[in-house]
Structure 1
């Protein structure tokens, strides 16, 4: 069984929903949901995963990463708040971080 499948099954069970309930609420058939929960790859679309996330009250990004729609590295620029940070190598990022740390240290003193 896949990490995504386990995660989806656990989230559904925690909400007390049956596969039939999921079908009624968002239209993913019992058989497709069962296949996804049992580890079938690429059975659900990104839109369907988003609907499940909303229904289950869970974050979308981890689902997209587990499903292979996103890589953690795809999020680096958005997490950092800096544009084009993915173009920098580790040494350049460390240099910038040391400058940020220095500025914060000075702010704390003042």
Structure 2
């Protein structure tokens, strides 16, 4: 497992989740995060635990190969968008639908993974 993943509290607390993401590629998220920082001079999500100033975004999973939980969706967002898993404040809405917080809503609306 990558060194940056070993320090994530989410993975230290949930060994099943750690095993799930062991082979995930987190480089696209790092690259995307760097692009957001370069273009907008901001992080991908609000830097504090407060959602003030963030946009709510909806993530709908049509196809997936892992159990969808708030924690696993947070890590999927982290893999795709960078930031920090907890910073997305992922909340389950209904089957395969999760809401998360985001700062750059207009730019990510065209993002597909």
Q: Give the TM-score normalised by the residue count of structure 1.
A: 0.26
Indicate the structure (1 or 2) with the bigger Cα radius of gyration. 1
Richer in strand (by share): 2
The structure whose residues are more often helix, as a share, is 1
Higher relative contact order (Cα pairs below 8 Å, separated by 6+ residues): 2
